[in-house]
Structure 1
Amino acid sequence: MIAIALFFSVFISVTNRLVAQGCVAVRSNGAMCTRSHAGEDAADNHNWQLTTGYRYFHSFRHFVGTEEQKHRVAEGTDVRNWQHAVDFTLARKLNKRMSIAVNVPIISNRRSSMYEHYGNSSTSPNARKETTSFGIGDVRITAYRWMLDPIKSKKGNIQVGLGLKLPTGDYRYNDFFWKNDSTKVLGPVDQSIQLGDGGTGISLELNGYYVFTKELSAYGNFYYLSNPREHNGVSTARGGTTSNTNILYGSSVMSVPDQYMIRGGLNLMLGAFSASAGVRLEAVPSEDIMGGSSGFRRPGRIFGAEPGVAYQMKKVNLFATVPYWFSKNRTQSYADKQRTKITGVFAQGDAAFADYSINIGCTVRF
């Protein structure tokens, strides 16, 4: 039997915190998809698979569109986000074509800023403060099917996944915001570090591979999460009073945005060792394909190279990737468009992005 198209299939099962970086707010919803070469998967007597993955990133580079706001770092007014996320994905093979998977993310976020506390113009040495969040994110349940007979189609196959994202993550997580050395108020943390988005979503996945030789194969993955709920009603005022301006432009409460990912590349297998080279695009669109699009969101796209390595043992697979984002774009949001329409002056907000993320994990079959 042709060797498995190893890396992409395992990695994608745990690293879909989909977009993005820092202020572009996307939840950790592991995209369980093509786990192996279809023929190998069909012949495998192990019906259960547990994948555990860890992802880390630190965002601090501010962009408006594709232009970096370098003065933010120079002035010390940049917003810094750190995220540590661990995903647990349990999959059950039902037959040679069908499987079902449940993904549970556990997330730890930390956010440092001046503007949310004393204000960017403050000269106090205490002006930079932190807010945090920790807990379970939004859980996903997904059913998968190989479209071609795995036994007959050993050179390549396509897998389709249809899933349901449940609003299990706390989307109203609160922390304290300091207004001066002696005054603090309790309010919802920024959208980028909320544990969930408050919406029940529908996910679609397309995962495919093609084997050229015993050592070389190609892979491709597409993931789209649709969130029909327009907004979740959580205030963006951080414990303060919502401004009339935010109400007018529809950004007084948090949006429940869609998100998507596209990735593809080549995988080289040398014995038990595998190395991959590919590209990855992650995005939050400014408008949803179903439901309304009002509410506060930071839409954007990141595109970069995604190198990775993996090591296959009898029942265990170890893997790691470090996507490097060389293209960052904070696009115009729906609220930005409304403001532009009402005032006649072009408006576009900013967002903070990371330069790279780190993903490591393992898969155990039993």
Structure 2
Amino acid sequence: MKPIIIILAAFLFIQTESGAQGCVAIRSVGGMCTVDHLFGADTVSSKWSFNLNTRYFNSFRHFVGTEEQKQRIANNTQVINHNASIDLSLTRILNNRWSITFGIPVISNTRSSLYEHGGAARHSTSSFGLGDARITAYHWLTDPAKGRKFSLQAGLGIKLPTGDFRVMDHFYTSTGTKVLGPVDQSIQLGDGGTGFTMELNANQVISRKVSLYGNFFYLLNPREHNGVSTARGGATSATALQYGSDVMSVPDQYMIRFGANFTFNRFTVSAGYRHECVPSSDLIGGDYGFRRPGYVNSIEPGVTYSMKKINLYAYVPVAIVRSRTQSYADKERTKITGVYAQGDAAFADLAVNIGMSVRF
């Protein structure tokens, strides 16, 4: 049983809902999917586990669709986001099949741009504080006590609007006047909506040293928009009102991961693929409001060091495909004007995730 636990730890200890790279933001919504849900009376005496994950990325490369707008960097007009977060989660292990996790992120963001500040000089806005919390119940659909080679876990949760979605900072106008307004959607601490999460986590043991894994996460956000203005302290434009980008949307988001783990004593090396997406349309509710939909496909190397009660890990998803897809506002503009419209978004090259999990 112990080798299976170590192998599972390599992929389940990392965050499953935070980490998209850039303005197309898979928000950090707290909580981790952790292997500690597996532990019961037959394996260890742990009833609790604590997970701490740090994440950082720097987005600056602009894309329209999958085509990079290289002139933005050449002309120094690119938007630069620095996003750092610490995801904290506490899991209560009820038995070897059921567990409940509460998680919340602490987030620090800065955003540097020209176009938001009159276009003459580059200035920055920022946000810092708690993000949206999540409470999730997990259940192993297969019995871990029987030590089967295939394991499947499901999770259902609620995402609470604990993060401030009205963070304000100062912007500069073309005349140099400072005005106070809501910061860009990509660095808001929360989205302002109560959401519902669905997860599936699977593992297939091939041998004592090799296993396969898969994760699926979906955040369902029924609220259409949160009413926060996108005008950065100024007057809302007629164009924004016409095309439905005058307020910030509350978008769905999802992630798919799969790959292989290779275990060598206490070390497990992982090689995986990661797809993260903010869709242009939600499963439930309307799509009105400003969002930057799109997706990031990444290769995801990682390493985990496992001890009796502690696991240390590092994962670095490296983007290989970045795409900014058509938003609701783009589609409305295309329909009204008859001219195809598609906005851009800034993406990072990679994200760095380093963390630890402790059972007690």
Cα contact 2:37–2:98 (8 A) shared by 1: no
Cα contact 2:36–2:49 (8 A) shared by 1: no
Pair 1:274-2:268 in alignment:
yes
The partner residue of 1:136 within 125, 130, 133 is 130
Pair 1:231-2:234 in alignment:
no
The partner residue of 2:209 within 204, 215, 232 is 215
CA deviations on 1:299-320 (whole Å, 9 max, x unpaired) are 0000010000011111111000
TM-score by length of 1: 0.95
Percent of paired sites with the same residue? 59
Pair 1:47-2:47 in alignment:
yes
Residue 215 of structure 1, CA deviation: 1.0
Cα contact 1:39–1:154 (8 A) shared by 2: no
Residue 82 of structure 1, CA deviation: 0.2
| Alignment CA distance shift 1:68-1:295 (3 Å) | same
Partner of 2:13: 10
Cα contact 2:17–2:26 (8 A) shared by 1: no
CA deviations on 1:186-210 (whole Å, 9 max, x unpaired) are 0000000000000000000000101
Partner of 2:109: 109
Cα contact 2:54–2:355 (8 A) shared by 1: yes
- Where do 1:355-366 residues align within 5 Å? 355-366=349-360
| Alignment CA distance shift 1:148-1:71 (3 Å) | same
CA deviations on 1:44-72 (whole Å, 9 max, x unpaired) are 21010000000000000000000000000
Partner of 1:155: 149
CA deviations on 1:50-109 (whole Å, 9 max, x unpaired) are 000000000000000000000000000000000110000100101110000001100000
For 1:255, the aligned partner's letter is: S
Counterpart secondary structure, 1:358: strand
Residue 30 of structure 1, CA deviation: 3.6
Counterpart secondary structure, 2:222: coil
The CA RMSD over aligned residues, in Å, is 1.5
Pair 1:24-2:24 in alignment:
yes
Cα contact 1:47–1:365 (8 A) shared by 2: yes
Pair 1:33-2:33 in alignment:
yes
| Alignment CA distance shift 1:41-1:287 (3 Å) | farther
Residue 137 of structure 1, CA deviation: 0.1
Cα distance in 2 for residues equivalent to 1:316 and 1:261 = 26
Cα contact 1:310–1:318 (8 A) shared by 2: yes
Cα contact 2:111–2:187 (8 A) shared by 1: yes
Residue 40 of structure 1, CA deviation: 7.5
Counterpart secondary structure, 1:340: helix
Runs (5+) with no aligned partner, structure 2: none
Cα distance in 1 for residues equivalent to 2:316 and 2:150 = 26
Partner of 1:172: 166
Cα contact 1:2–1:214 (8 A) shared by 2: no
CA deviations on 1:160-198 (whole Å, 9 max, x unpaired) are 000000000000000000125751000000000000000
The partner residue of 1:347 within 341, 350, 356 is 341
Cα contact 1:34–1:208 (8 A) shared by 2: no
- Where do 1:236-315 residues align within 5 Å? 236-315=230-309
Pair 1:332-2:332 in alignment:
no
Cα distance in 1 for residues equivalent to 2:36 and 2:301 = 18
Partner of 1:89: 89
Q: Which runs of 4+ in 1 moved over 6 A?
A: none
Q: How many residues get paired?
A: 357
Cα distance in 2 for residues equivalent to 1:158 and 1:41 = 19
Residue 347 of structure 1, CA deviation: 0.5
CA deviations on 1:244-299 (whole Å, 9 max, x unpaired) are 11001110000000000000100111111111000000000000000111100000
